[in-house]
Amino acid sequence: MRPNKTRPNKTRPDGAGADRSRPEGMRLDGQVAFVTGATKGIGLAVATDLARAGATVLLNYRRDVERAKHALRAVAEHQPDAALVQGDVADAGDVNRMFAQIRADHGRLDALVNNAGIASDGYALMMGDAKWHSVLDTNLGGAFLCCRAAGRLMVRQKRGAIVAIGSTSGLNAPPGQANYAASKAGLLAMVRVLAKELGGYGIRVNAVVPGFVDTAMTRTMPPADLDAYLARVPLGRIGRPEDVASVVRFLLCDEVTAYVTGTTVVVDGGMTC
Amino acid sequence: MALTLAETAAAAQARQDVCAEVKTLLVERLTLDVDPAVIGDDQPLFGRGLELDSIDTLELAMAVEEKYGVMITDDDTDSLLSLNRLVDHVQANR
């Protein structure tokens, strides 16, 4: 008997060899997906990934029109029906307007990705009210408003999937992030509550918790801090937005996760294990 | 500013129209076994009135939002006390 040959590992340990351009499975053809904070970083990676999988992606942005147009062009290369939806998720009026627009334009919503988030760090005893409220209002309040509005659309359909993007800060509560960590920890609790409340309507609600991911937020870190973080990551590299996006798609796809709700998937290279 | 008699009559008619619409909406969306015309404007929607329950509340809130673009949450529970209160809420927020 011939010895088994070891198959070459096409996916290198650093993940760079993984071909994410052709998602053969986990298709989302014909689905309408709304991604908040979709014009950069993880949000843009998610929007792009969902469009590659066939979904009509609606990209939410708050202010930067030029960046939004640039993001739309990138996403529309994969799915020409993609569109921009302007609005501040922390503003209830904006959220209601955006979802009314989605209902009018598409008549349905299959997937919501609550990604929009901000950070504004500072030690708690010196943290001003505005800094506290702005982070909570966007990261947690915005997710609540979007879930409520999306849920009302999905209840009618008796199906839908929601994914909230958390953060390992919500798990390990680092100093200087009382507002951010509280918002992300609260998000995980809200996901579990919503999973229980909406499960009876066929709506699944899950969370993805990215660790240290290469985004504009992390690129401004001092190199020494970056090295310290990397030393705690068993997989030995910083995450890419695409690493998170593929897990979001996994959780949105009924084909593979129809029986998964109320759970949290940590995508951090093992940092918190 | 005071309304003319014609304006007052028109406003009253508009309110009656919305009341009739909401009654029909209630009956159709909640599949109530009742003629919309016999629902009184001050009839309680819950309890001994139309005997709606908490699941009906969500259905009614979504129906009103779809038809009038007006959101109802549990901040607005007073608006669900009667048909008149509900129409007040719709007219004030649409």
Question: What confidence score (pLDDT) does residue A31 get?
Answer: 98
Chain A, nearest residue to B71 by Cα = A96
| Subunit contact A103:B66, Cβ cutoff 8 A | yes
Question: What confidence score (pLDDT) does residue A24 get?
Answer: 65
Question: What confidence score (pLDDT) does residue A8 get?
Answer: 37
Strand stretches in A115-253, DSSP E: 160-165, 203-210
Question: B11 Cβ partners below 8 Å, 6+ apart?
Answer: B3
Chain A residues touching residue B71 (CB < 8 angstroms): 96
Question: What confidence score (pLDDT) does residue A100 get?
Answer: 93
pTM: 0.86
ipTM given for this complex: 0.74
More confident residue, B94 or A1: B94
The answer to whether the beta carbons of residues B41 and B15 sit under 8 Å apart is no
Q: Are strands A111-114 and A83-86 parallel, antiparallel or unpaired?
A: unpaired
State whether residue A156 sits within 8 Å of chain B by CB: yes
Size of the A and B interface in Cβ pairs below 8 Å: 9
| Subunit contact A156:B69, Cβ cutoff 8 A | no
Q: Is it the case that residue B30 has pLDDT exceeding 70?
A: yes
What distances in angstroms separate CA A95 from CA A100, A188, A236, one per listed residue?
A: 8, 21, 39
More confident residue, A144 or B55: A144
| Subunit contact A155:B69, Cβ cutoff 8 A | no
Q: What is the pLDDT along chain A (273 residues), one digit of tens a residue?
A: 333 433 333 334 454 544 444 446 899 999 999 999 999 999 999 999 999 999 999 999 999 999 999 999 999 999 999 999 999 999 999 999 999 999 999 999 999 999 999 999 999 999 999 999 999 999 999 999 999 999 999 999 999 999 999 999 999 999 999 999 999 999 999 999 999 999 999 999 999 999 999 988 778 888 888 888 899 999 999 999 999 999 999 999 999 999 999 999 999 999 999
Structural domains of chain B sorted by starting position, each given as residue range(s) with its CATH number in brackets: 5-93 (1.10.1200.10)
CA distance A190 to A192: 5
Chain-centre distance for alpha carbon A84: 17
CA distance A215 to A82: 23
Structure tokens given for A157 = 């359909």
Mean pLDDT of B40-66: 86
The answer to whether A180 is a known catalytic residue is: yes
Which amino acid type is present at position A167?
A: S
The continuous run of DSSP H or E covering B92 comes out as: helix B83-93
If one counts every other C-beta atom within 10 angstroms of the C-beta of residue A80, the result is 10
Chain B residues touching residue A96 (CB < 8 angstroms): 71
Q: Per-residue DSSP letters for A196-230?
A: HHHGGGTEEEEEEEE-SB-SHHHHTS-HHHHHHHH
State whether residue A152 sits within 8 Å of chain B by CB: yes
Question: What confidence score (pLDDT) does residue A9 get?
Answer: 38
State whether residue B71 sits within 8 Å of chain A by CB: yes
Question: What confidence score (pLDDT) does residue A231 get?
Answer: 93
Question: What confidence score (pLDDT) does residue A223 get?
Answer: 86
